[in-house]
Structure 1
Amino acid sequence: MHQAEQSQNEVFDQEQRVAEYLMAHPDFLVRHPEVLTAIEVPHGVTGAVSLIEYQVRALRRQLATERNRFIHLIARAREYESLSTRLHGLILQLMVVDDSEPLCHLLRETLLREFHAEALAFKLFALAAIEEGAPHDPLANAFADFIDRRNALCGPLSPERAVALFGEGGAGIHSAAIVPIHASGQSGIIAIGSADATRFSPDMGTDFLNRLGEIISQKLRAIRFSGCEPH
């Protein structure tokens, strides 16, 4: 017997066993409705879509949607778990930093790597100057409406604001995550910039960034700090 014929006979035997099982258990599809969404069921209607076929198609679409949603949730959960682990590592390093220069180096190295970004700016302003309504720092002027926020903001960045944040190198930055910082007598921002206009989008979750801002704000209560030069 040729191998092709043998293979066909094996498939036929398997189909026979499946058919015999289904005939012996006529309630199988009632107990396992998910099978119905994955098989073709003849309905004897030509030229029109029967109600059964319409329902099966709807169930398949619903199942595909739920599967994609589940996959997305799993991916997000893994991403958050990974971010939490990395945040813990950053906290441990922040605990031993006692000066502004190593703090800037740590934040620049870590945040640019973790967010696959190209630019970082960290700037603080005296609250007294901000409350007067006309701070002299052009960066403070450009972000006066953001400084009082409590949550991070992600999205596209205008050329003017990009240059205000990142200096001359800001001309190539098209999206950013901006994290508010609130320390004793000071308020400011950390901006993480990307040349990719879609890298930071308004619908991104900001939990990780908000926690990061709180941790750094707390750290600044222990060291003297005026900001990091744009990079």
Structure 2
Amino acid sequence: MMHQAEHSRDEAFDQERQVVDYLIAHPDFLARHPEVLSIIEVPHGIRGAVSLIEYQVRVLRRQLAIERNRLVHLIARARRNEALAIRLHGLFLQLMTVDDPEHLCRLLRETLLREFHAEALAFKLFSLATLESRPHDPLVNAFADFIDRRNALCGPLSPERALALFGDGGAGIHSAAIIPIQADGQSGIIAIGSSDATRFSPEMGTDFLNRLGEVISRKLRTVRLGDCAPH
């Protein structure tokens, strides 16, 4: 008996699947056979009698609302990025005239923290000779996966990574943007940290951060950043 019941369920499922496939292949079926609408039920969780067309309209409206919200979000992000690019244009102009390491450090720290609404900034630069001669150095290894990247990386930070990046100030940092830096004889990163875990997310575009890293990397060819510890 149990075997027969299972066989009946499987056969019913196959028949339903055939019906579904047929309706998908012939979307005008109900238009050609409107009498079917008078006897079928369309369960959709909405109280009261609702026609299939009304149900479809409601589904499309929900989908449209989702797409509108997504579009609004994308437009808002684009406007924020455009405003940020305009403001940081001033940083690029100032970088052209800086020739003092201390001034360079202060300019980068103040501008990046302000414009990215961040609470922490870290510069980790290593000479290429250090990277080659000390491959097992704990400090070098802690940043090896960041240093080897060609593009910026955004996302949440584990407490261990936050402390490694920002030292004692990393206790309250939950997300960061990591920008690779490649200068003559040096390789490393600039890390911008936020206490907001959603401030920097993997979904963020990194094109602008990559360009920022390129500009800073080129500046470091003429002005060494030196010791740029937090103040």
Q: Normalising by the residue count of structure 1, what TM-score does the alignment of the two structures yield?
A: 0.74
Would the alpha carbon gap of residues 161 and 55 (structure 1) be closer, same or farther in structure 2, given more than 3 Å must change? Answer: closer
Structure 2 contact 180–188 (Cα < 8 Å) conserved: yes
2:152 alignment counterpart: 152
Determine the C-alpha separation between the residues in 1 that align with 2:93 and 2:48: 68
What RMSD over aligned residues (CA atoms) do the two structures have, in Å? 1.9
- For residues 184-230 of structure 1, the C-alpha deviation after alignment (integer angstroms, 9 at most, x for no partner) is 11101101111222222222221221111000000011112334113
Would the alpha carbon gap of residues 115 and 47 (structure 1) be closer, same or farther in structure 2, given more than 3 Å must change? Answer: closer
Q: Does 1:58 align with 2:59?
A: yes
Structure 1 contact 167–230 (Cα < 8 Å) conserved: no
Would the alpha carbon gap of residues 107 and 135 (structure 1) be closer, same or farther in structure 2, given more than 3 Å must change? Answer: farther
2:119 alignment counterpart: 118
2:217 partner letter:
S
Number of equivalenced pairs: 185
1:129 alignment counterpart: 130
Pairwise mapping of residues 177-188 of structure 1 onto structure 2 (< 5 A)? Answer: 177-188=177-188
Determine the C-alpha separation between the residues in 2 that align with 1:69 and 1:173: 28
Percent pairwise identity: 79
Structure 1 contact 83–208 (Cα < 8 Å) conserved: no
**Moved beyond 6 Å, runs of 4+:** none
SS of 1:72's equivalent in the other structure is: helix
Pairwise mapping of residues 25-174 of structure 1 onto structure 2 (< 5 A)? Answer: 47-132=48-133, 134=135, 136=137, 138-174=138-174
2:33 alignment counterpart: none
What is the CA distance between 1:94 and its match in structure 2? 0.7
2:214 alignment counterpart: 214
SS of 1:229's equivalent in the other structure is: coil
2:202 alignment counterpart: 202
Determine the C-alpha separation between the residues in 2 that align with 1:98 and 1:135: 34
The answer to which of 66-75 and 100-109 deviates more is 66-75
Structure 2 contact 105–225 (Cα < 8 Å) conserved: no
2:100 partner letter:
D
- For residues 149-191 of structure 1, the C-alpha deviation after alignment (integer angstroms, 9 at most, x for no partner) is 1111111222222222222222222221111100011101101
Determine the C-alpha separation between the residues in 2 that align with 1:199 and 1:74: 17
Determine the C-alpha separation between the residues in 1 that align with 2:193 and 2:56: 48
Gaps of 5+ in 2: 1-46
What is the CA distance between 1:55 and its match in structure 2? 2.1
1:230 alignment counterpart: 230
Determine the C-alpha separation between the residues in 1 that align with 2:53 and 2:167: 64
Would the alpha carbon gap of residues 165 and 66 (structure 1) be closer, same or farther in structure 2, given more than 3 Å must change? Answer: closer
Structure 2 contact 104–225 (Cα < 8 Å) conserved: no
Gaps of 5+ in 1: 1-45
Q: Normalising by the residue count of structure 2, what TM-score does the alignment of the two structures yield?
A: 0.74
What is the CA distance between 1:110 and its match in structure 2? 0.6
Determine the C-alpha separation between the residues in 2 that align with 1:229 and 1:47: 67
SS of 1:190's equivalent in the other structure is: strand
2:195 partner letter:
A
